[in-house]
Amino acid sequence: MKKALLLKALLVIFGVLLLDQFIKILIKTHFYYGETYYVFGLNWFQIHFIENNGMAFGMEFAGSYGKIILTVFRLIASSAIAWYLWILIKKQSNSFLIITIALIFTGAIGNILDSMFYGLMFSESTGFDKAVFMPAGGGYGTFLHGKVVDMLYFPVINTTWAHWIPFIGGSSFEFFQPIFNIADSAITIGVFLLLIFQKRMFKPSKAAETVEVVEE
């Protein structure tokens, strides 16, 4: 049973991580910075290439040292999540919970890889030059100073508030504004599932209950 749970977790981790990195590298090496592609010609489903120095969904964290602090914090947090995931597997906890934690862990690792290595692996992306993988002159940054690649953009609503509305009248309104990636999505989905189904997830699995009965 432990092997089956471990296999499920590994499939989630490597499956999501490979998809995340494949899409990021594809976008990084084939798009100009700021380039937009309208999927199926839809305005609300766009691939829009940007990079950020900080947190998920394009948020920023102050300065060069802030970048290092954020990456180190991510590494520590990811290590803690990995340890918790291993404990859950050893205890043969609910498989739904294990998959959910695996999603959160994978999302964190996906963005950590960008921060740690992309500065070494790629040349700078600009509006005139596409990035080159492993350029002869070296990458655009140093270890821990890579930028996180974002590309998924869903401006489902893009309108202007009516002029008669106090304070906000005449200003533009856009939903959903953040641009994100597969790793961000994995974290968001994992946290959402954890909040919605926590009662079901933390209910002891039948396998765990069987083990307890046998031990008694």
3-state SS, residue 14: helix
Using a 10 angstrom Cβ sphere, with 0-12 exposed, 13-18 middle and 19 or more buried, the burial of residue 52 is buried
Instruction: Give φ, ψ of 174 to 5 degrees.
Output: -135, 135
Terminal-residue alpha carbon distance, the chain: 19
* Contact between residue 5 and residue 89 where contact means Cβ atoms under 8 Å apart: yes
Q: Is the dihedral of CA 62, 65, 67, 70 positive or negative?
A: negative
Check whether the bond before 143 is cis (ω within 30° of 0).
Answer: no
* Contact between residue 162 and residue 133 where contact means Cβ atoms under 8 Å apart: no
Tell me which of 20, 114, 129, 184 is the catalytic residue.
Answer: 184
Confirm whether 114 is a catalytic residue.
no
Confirm whether 184 is a catalytic residue.
yes
> Rounded to whole angstroms, how far apart are CA atoms 106 and 190?
10
Residues 6+ apart with CB under 8 A from 39: 45, 46, 47
Residue given tokens 């609300």 in the structure block: 44
> Rounded to whole angstroms, how far apart are CA atoms 164 and 23?
44
Which residues does the annotation mark as catalytic? 150, 184
